Amino acid sequence: MLGRIPSLVRAVKRHYIPMPTAAGARNSALRREVLARPADLVVICALYHAQYARRSRARLWLDYMDVGSEVGAREAVQRHGIASLTAKLQSRQLKWSERRVSARAGLVTAAGWADHLCLRERGINAHWLPTPLPDNDFRIVRSSDPRTRTTAGFLASFDYWPNQDAYRILCEEWLPRLQRNGYEVVVAGRGSEALVTRPSGIQIMGTVDDVDEFYQRVAFTLAPIRKGGGMKVKVLESLARGIPVVGTAFSFEGFPDSMLKLVRVCAEDGSDLDSILIEPMPLVDPKSAELRNYRMSSARQRVLDLLDEIRA
């Protein structure tokens, strides 16, 4: 029983205070490292690490992997009672902290397109810097096995609670419609082997050493995502391999509108999947102009340009 106490505390904290906190991120060893190492530039990707950047004289680069106040606000809408109130309060506190830390940063970037626009609307001079993939990931990955034509896939890390929520939506709302249209679903990724709910029509691959093993088994991938924030890298990974994605509007918020021609947008509950599945899936070219910004070579050049900007 005593061994379960930390996990119970984490579950209670997540229920009432959904976003990570500075108190939870305190690490004396990391603080000593920051103080001991001279630096000209400190980069942080999470607001709760600002406590370490404050201890350095280096210029700060704040790179938002997601905007926590926006994630918290979405959580508040989906919760009830006291949990909704505490999530709203945390969202407000995060919004204040984001404004304050961004104001003293020499450079602010965001991985998600919608997040970069959101920060700019708040008066924060944020630049869009999407999460890249290695250049050699941008290639067609397909199998000649005819069974892949009627197989959809969901790849995710199921240690992350928004992906657990997405899996529940997939099982309860999307799967019956997919089956009605003749599709089965393959699920893979870290923690997938521990998923308790395994309805008929879903195959669990578990953790895969090479994600191409997963992509070779599917005609398209699924993104039934409604929680979390930032850019959904699983969407990019699929498109980089020439495989279209069917997902919620929220799952594509991290990308500019030009990317929508490569995907199919559906309702959160999958209510329009029947009409989507009878239409041909888009042809995705990994070498297309829409995907160029996500190559590592493009990202390196963008980083160099941004560094030149803050030096100036």
Residue 126 vs residues 177, 214, 256: alpha-carbon distances, Å = 40, 35, 15
Per-residue model confidence as pLDDT tens digits over 168-226: 999 999 999 999 999 999 999 999 999 988 999 999 999 999 999 999 999 999 999 99
Q: Compare 38 and 150 and report the one with higher pLDDT.
A: 150
Q: Compare 23 and 121 and report the one with higher pLDDT.
A: 121
For the beta sheet containing 41-44, the strands, ordered from the edge strand earlier in sequence to the opposite edge, are 41-44, 59-64, 107-110, 126-128
Residue 121 vs residues 126, 154, 229: alpha-carbon distances, Å = 10, 33, 17
Name residues whose C-beta falls within 8 Å of residue 159's C-beta, 6 or more positions apart in sequence. 190, 191
**pTM of the complete model:** 0.90
For residue 287, the SS3 value is coil
Q: Residue type for 69, please?
A: S
Q: Which domains does the chain have, with CATH numbers?
A: 2-129 (no CATH), 135-292 (3.40.50.2000)
Determine the Cα–Cα distance for residues 18 and 90; give it in Å rounded to an integer: 8
Determine the Cα–Cα distance for residues 193 and 185; give it in Å rounded to an integer: 15
Per-residue model confidence as pLDDT tens digits over 91-148: 999 999 999 999 999 999 999 999 999 999 999 999 999 999 999 999 999 877 887 8
Nearest one of 145, 175, 156, 142 to 281, comparing CA atoms: 142
**Pair 227, 78: CB distance under 8 Å:** yes
